[in-house]
């Protein structure tokens, strides 16, 4: 057994131990401090800008395949998702923690009345899956279409 193989075995064992017996999850950030939400909001802006550029570049290049149109649809849905999520994070800073009623746990959280415009915007911004699920489905259709097109090219 070479020294390289021994090191690989030791690293695999160490990784296995860390996975099975984790300590604290230090990667979690609750966005309570202002720096966390600022960085998170900037990430939404940069991701949205990247998607807009990708959409523009695909449109400019005028790829004829169906998969590229699905990729454009993915970009549109994800830009909409970013806008809704950005707005939800922004409005979430104006809502008190006492606004939420958790009678029987986290999954049954309700917004306490009286309902105002801020609470309504926050509520509808939490429905961001309306845009993210179709976006991921379009991405799936895009990848499937491009894969099938590449298989046809290889056979020809």
Which residues form the domain of 80?
A: 52-156
Contacts of 66 (CB under 8 A, 6+ apart): 145
Burial class (CB in 10 A: 0-12, 13-18, 19+), 77: buried
151 falls within a domain: yes
Give the separation between CA 68 and CA 75, rounded to whole angstroms. 11
Give the separation between CA 91 and CA 117, rounded to whole angstroms. 10
pLDDT at 136 over 70: yes
62 neighbors 86 (Cβ within 8 angstroms): no
Reported as type and span, the H/E element at residue 101 is: strand 100-102
Residues of the chain above pLDDT 90, percent:
41
In the block, residue with structure tokens 């720096």 = 35
Q: What does pTM read for this prediction?
A: 0.74
The encoded tokens of residue 113 equal: 């009345």
Q: What is the pLDDT of residue 57?
A: 93
145 falls within a domain: yes
Total count of domains within the chain: 1
């Amino acid at each position: 057994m070479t020294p390289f193989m021994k090191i690989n075995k030791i690293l695999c064992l160490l990784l296995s131990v860390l996975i099975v017996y984790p300590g604290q999850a230090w990667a979690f950030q609750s966005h309570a401090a202002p720096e966390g939400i600022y960085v998170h909001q900037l990430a939404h802006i940069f991701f949205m800008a990247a998607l807009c550029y990708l959409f523009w570049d695909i449109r400019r290049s005028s790829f004829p395949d169906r998969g590229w149109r699905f990729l454009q649809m993915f970009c549109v849905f994800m830009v909409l998702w970013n806008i809704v999520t950005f707005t939800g994070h922004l409005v979430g800073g104006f809502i008190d923690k006492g606004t939420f009623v958790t009678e029987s746990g986290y999954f049954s959280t309700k917004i306490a009345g009286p309902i105002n415009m801020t609470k309504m915007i926050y509520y509808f911004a939490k429905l961001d899956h309306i845009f993210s699920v179709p976006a991921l489905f379009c991405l799936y259709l895009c990848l499937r279409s491009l894969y099938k097109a590449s298989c046809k090219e290889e056979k020809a």
